[in-house]
Homo-oligomer: A and B are copies of this chain.
Amino acid sequence: MVVFNSVAIVGVGLIGGSLALSAREHGMVKKIVGIDADPDTIERANSRHVIDWGTTDLQEGVRDADLVVVATPVRSITPLISDLAPYVRPDAVITDVGSVKKEIVDAVESLPGVDIGFVGGHPIAGTENSGVEAAFPGLFAGRKCVLTPTGRTPKRALRNVSDMWQSLGADVIHMDAAAHDSVFGAVSHLPHYVAFALVSCIDLLSSSEDNLFSFSAGGLKDFTRIAGSDPTMWTDIALMNRSNILSCIDRYRESLTRLRTLIESGDAESLHTALADIRAVRHTRIG
């Protein structure tokens, strides 16, 4: 197992905090430094013993780290790596946990005058809750973690980051960054915007006297929960994976229109066949 002397976690929220708790639980790190723009977050992370010490000063925080994990909202990852890169140790490994990869990996690899050991990463884990209070050490156990190395990724950096996630119980997968964004545009980003739109629609159909949510049963409750996800995170993801998401929404609208046409046609047999085929996906694709 890889053991780090000092891990700097930039952004001590659900993911960063859970990574800290899990790394400590697995004896994988001697010291954990938390870096966050919000001093209150640092204080709360300290008082919950999520980090050994914390600072709002990025340069100070990363100086001694042999591993830097950037776990901030996805649009801030590239600027932060650009800011911290000149101050890390020459042998430091840098990784991130952003839900979008292509734009980050391209930008970091073309930072001028910087030669850093960077590996793009995305643990497929999260909850609707955010913040360090929601962090827990088991968040990554049994979950996939995608790494997106390129021809320029140092082998040692890739090995260390890969070992780290495996030690935390994650199932590490290597993917091309563009392929990652296409796949997760479909299986993660699209479902969220579909859910946001549904909750918005039911809200618009409700009136002040007639709150439709008071009648919500199983199905709608799941959508409402998903649509309660962090607006900043889902704004960032929309803008950073925009073309994939727009194309997924278009494909989705086609599927919905096909279903609408079948319903409108009143053709019970064809509609039943379509719904049975969709139900069967559980067995053919999921098993």
Question: Measuring CB to CB, which residues of chain A are less than 8 angstroms from any residue of chain B?
Answer: 75, 124-127, 143-144, 183-184, 186-188, 190-206, 210-220, 222-232, 234-235, 238-239, 242, 245-246, 248-249, 251-256, 258-260, 262-264, 266, 268, 271-272, 274-279, 281-282, 285-286
Contacts and interface: CB of A to CB of B under 8 A. Distances in A.
Given A144-B215, A235-B271, A266-B239, A286 B224 contact: yes
At the interface, is chain A mostly helix, strand, loop or mixed? helix
Contacts of A203: 278, 281, 285
A229 B285 contact: no
Contacts of A260: 193, 246, 249
Contacts of A254: 201
Nearest to A251: B201
A282 B249 CA distance: 24
Contacts of A214: 285
Contacts of A262: 238
Contacts of A219: 188, 191-192, 195, 226
A259 to B, nearest CB: 5
B242 A201 contact: no
B271 A238 contact: yes
Contacts of A252: 197-198, 201, 256
Query: Which of A232, A259, A266 gathers most chain B CB within 10 Å?
Result: A259
Given A222-B222, A226-B222, A231-B272, A246 B263 contact: yes
